[in-house]
Amino acid sequence: MKTVQITGTGSALPERIVTNDDLAKLVDTSDEWIRQRVGIIERRAAETETVSSLAAQACENALSMAGKTAEEVDLIIVATCSPQELLPCAACQVQSKIGAEGATAFDLNAACSGFLFALQTASAYIQAGLYQNALVVGSEVLSKLMDYQDRSTCILFGDGAGAVFVENKEAATFGDRQAGVIMPSFVQGANGAKGDVLSCREGRYEGHFVEMDGQEVYRFATRQVPDCIKQSMEQMQMTADDIDLFLLHQANMRIIDSVAKHLKADRTKFPTNLEYRGNMSSAAIPVLLDELARAGRIKAGDRLMLSGFGAGLTYGACMVNWGFKA
C-alpha cells in the first residue's frame, strides 16, 4: 500500500547571528529579560539572503536527503508571510533557482501555521492522484518587518527556511505503524474575528511593521494548540502517551510548557530550537524537523505530532509516522 511520506528534509539559515545583547543596543531590553520571558538567546537575520534564496537552499538539501533531482519534482508550495516581492511568487522563484522546470508552483500564506497548511495541501493533492510528489517549504525573512523600537516584537522573530520532500511511496511498516503523513489526523482552523491581535499593515513599505497583542496571542495559543492536538489524537483514537515527539511552532518557551501541561504529556517529548532560532513563523516547524532528523533524534517508526498557530488567527495539527533514518 502506498502512503504520502516525508522522505527528505532540509533547512537554510542566514549567516548573520543577532544576540539578545545586540538587540539591547537598539531597544530597552536585556539578555536576562528576553530569556526569562520567551526563552530566546539569539536568532538569525538576513542581509543578502531572501525568502526565495533560503527556500531554494532548503529544497536542495531536502532533495539531496531524498535522493531526488529537481527535474523529478511535481509540485512546489512555499508557505510565507514575508515575501520580498508580490510578483512573481516565491515558489516560482524557487522553481527557477533549483531548476525544477516541470513543477507546478504557488505560495500559501497562513502565517506561522503556513507549513502545516502547505503540508496538508500537498498531501491532499498527492492522495487525489494529481501529483506524485511535492516540495513543501516554510521560508521567512521577518527581520525586514520588525520595528526595532518595539521590544515586544523585535526580540521574538528570526529568519530561515525549512523544507520537506513528500512523495507517494510504498509504505514501510514498523510494528503497528505504517510510515506516512496520516490524513485522518489533519486538523485546521481559523478565527478571523481575532485577526487584529497579530498584524502587519502593508509591511513592504517604510513605517509599517508587525504589531502584536502578546497577551491575546498567548491566551489563544495556550488554549487552541492543546485543543487541536487533542482533536487530532482523538481522530486517530490515540492519547499523548502514544506520541513519541511533539513538534510545536517555536514561538515562546512558556507556550510550549503550557501545552505540555494541558496535554499531561512528558515535557521531554517537546524538543525546541527557539533558543537559537527565535520565532521563524512558517519555517519554525520544518527547520526543527530537519535539525532533529539530521541529529538522529527521530528514528524510523516514531509518531510525530506537528502543531502550529499564527496570525489570522490560524491553527493546525497533524500526525506523521516517520519512515526512515536520515
Active site residue 249: yes
pLDDT (0 to 100) of residue 203: 47
Total number of domains in the chain:
1
The percent of residues above 70 in pLDDT, for the chain, comes to 95
**pLDDT category of residue 205 using cuts at 50, 70 and 90:** very low
Q: pTM, whole model, 2 decimals?
A: 0.95
Please say if the pLDDT value at position 215 is more than 90.
Answer: no
Active site residue 262: no
The percent of residues above 90 in pLDDT, for the chain, comes to 81
Please say if the pLDDT value at position 199 is more than 80.
Answer: no
- Dihedral Cα 210, 215, 282, 158, nearest 10 deg: 60
Strand 177-178 relative to strand 173-174, pairing: antiparallel
- 150 pairs with which residues across the strands? none
**Residue of 96, 108, 103 lying closest to 140 (CA atoms):** 108
pLDDT (0 to 100) of residue 70: 98
* Structural domain boundaries, residue 178: 1-326
CB half-sphere exposure, 211, CA atoms < 13 A? 11
pLDDT (0 to 100) of residue 36: 94
**pLDDT category of residue 61 using cuts at 50, 70 and 90:** very high
Please say if the pLDDT value at position 242 is more than 80.
Answer: yes
Whichever domain contains 213, its CATH number is: 3.40.47.10
Say which of 109, 133, 279, 321 is annotated catalytic.
Answer: 279
Please say if the pLDDT value at position 189 is more than 60.
Answer: yes
pLDDT (0 to 100) of residue 152: 85
pLDDT (0 to 100) of residue 35: 96
Query: What does the pLDDT look like over 126-176, one tens digit per residue?
Result: 999 999 999 999 999 999 988 898 888 999 999 999 999 999 999 888 888
Q: In 10 A of CB 178, how many CB atoms? A: 16
Query: What does the pLDDT look like over 98-134, one tens digit per residue?
Result: 999 999 999 999 999 999 999 999 999 999 999 999 9
Angstrom distance (rounded) from CA 124 to CA 94 = 22
Mean pLDDT lowest among 55-64, 114-123, 218-227:
218-227
pLDDT (0 to 100) of residue 156: 94
Query: What does the pLDDT look like over 269-297, one tens digit per residue?
Result: 999 999 999 999 999 999 999 999 999 99
pLDDT (0 to 100) of residue 201: 66
- 138 pairs with which residues across the strands? 79, 162
The whole-angstrom distance between residue 86's C-alpha and the CA centroid of its chain comes to: 21
Q: Is 75 in contact with 48 (CB distance < 8 Å)?
A: no
Say which of 249, 252, 273, 321 is annotated catalytic.
Answer: 249
Angstrom distance (rounded) from CA 116 to CA 166 = 13
Mean pLDDT for the chain overall: 93
Q: Is 118 in contact with 239 (CB distance < 8 Å)?
A: no
**pLDDT category of residue 257 using cuts at 50, 70 and 90:** very high
pLDDT (0 to 100) of residue 213: 75
Q: What cell was used for 151?
A: 521590544
pLDDT (0 to 100) of residue 214: 67
Say which of 112, 200, 228, 318 is annotated catalytic.
Answer: 112
